[in-house]
Amino acid sequence: MSRPFIASDAGSAALPLDAWVLGWLFFPLLIKGLHKGITRCIFRTNALKHASDEKKGKAALHLTKVVLYAISVGLMWPATGSLLGGQLNSMPPAPLHQPFSIFSDNVRYLKWAMTIPVALYLYELVSDPSPSAVTWLHHGASIVGVAFFSGAVPWLNANDALLFSQVAIIVWSFLSFNFVSYLSFAIYQLLGRRYDRQKAYVIRFVSAFVVVVVGLEHPLVYVFLGLKLRHFHSSAPIVALFVLDSAIFFEHLWTLYCLFWMHKSCMRRLRASKYPDAGGAAA
């Protein structure tokens, strides 16, 4: 029996390991070029002269993510729509036949598509001089998850590998919608100090959007796992999925916590600008 999404098996329909893994090595270089191009455009835009270099740099990285995440939406959702439409049930797992009718073509296609998050997160970890612990947790869990998905670690039989890959497809497809969040973050960074009220609106929107995405993605993962639970041949992929999804969920909670304090900071500045002598009067 061939092992879907496990690249090391002879006769597998998957793309050979040494071929698709090149994307992990070279895509970060392409992302670096994209990031530099966007950064150059932002710094040359006269309308953005009011923004500090630090804020322009943050906005450039956010816009780089917008491009990559938006591409991922287009790449992933044909397969995800087929998966949710035909596999969200208690039946045994079946190979995907979207966006192509031949399963081996979909395996090859999805492996290349899933190099986007790996390349992005590797680029971030390398280019950031001091990534936070939460960044390491989220990016590390995502990279490990894609490595398992792609067959870099051949640890599952055909049935469990297929189930694991289907959950990974669901997770990244929903996370790809965060291009909306990163576009909002870029706008936030490029707005001047006199636009604190608009910044507060942006933060409220992003907070609501994150709640919607998180509220759909994580429950759907566990609904899918619950429906397919009896079809797993081993508990290993279930434990791995729970640990990896918990790490991503923690990062989502941390994002909401940071958004709360960003909104609070905007409102504090608004009150200070409206009542500039309030602090002195209170003293």
pLDDT tens for each residue of 132-161? 999 999 999 999 999 888 876 778 888 998
Q: E strands along 92-214, which residues? A: none
φ, ψ of residue 235 in degrees (nearest 5): -85, -10
Q: Is 11 left (phi over 0), alpha (psi -120 to 50) or beta?
A: left
The two tokens of residue 62 are 């956010």
CA distance to 128, 215, 252, per residue, from 165 (Å): 30, 21, 22
Amino acid letter, 192: G
Contact 271, 278 (CB under 8 A): yes
Contact 96, 83 (CB under 8 A): yes
CA distance to 89, 147, 230, 231, 240, per residue, from 234 (Å): 19, 19, 10, 9, 11
DSSP H helix total and E strand total for the chain: 11, 0
Contact 39, 127 (CB under 8 A): no
Q: How far is it, in rounded angstroms, from Cα 72 to Cα 172?
A: 8
pLDDT tens for each residue of 17-49? 556 677 788 899 999 999 999 999 999 999 898
Mean pLDDT of residues grouped by 10 in the chain (283 residues)? Answer: 42 49 85 97 91 94 97 94 90 88 86 91 92 95 90 81 92 95 96 87 96 95 95 94 95 95 90 63 41
How long, in residues, is the chain? 283
pLDDT recorded at residue 18: 53
Query: Considering the entire predicted model, what is its pTM?
Result: 0.87
Q: Provide the 8-state DSSP code for 230.
A: G
The two tokens of residue 125 are 């970890």
pLDDT recorded at residue 20: 66
Contact 227, 89 (CB under 8 A): yes
pLDDT recorded at residue 133: 95
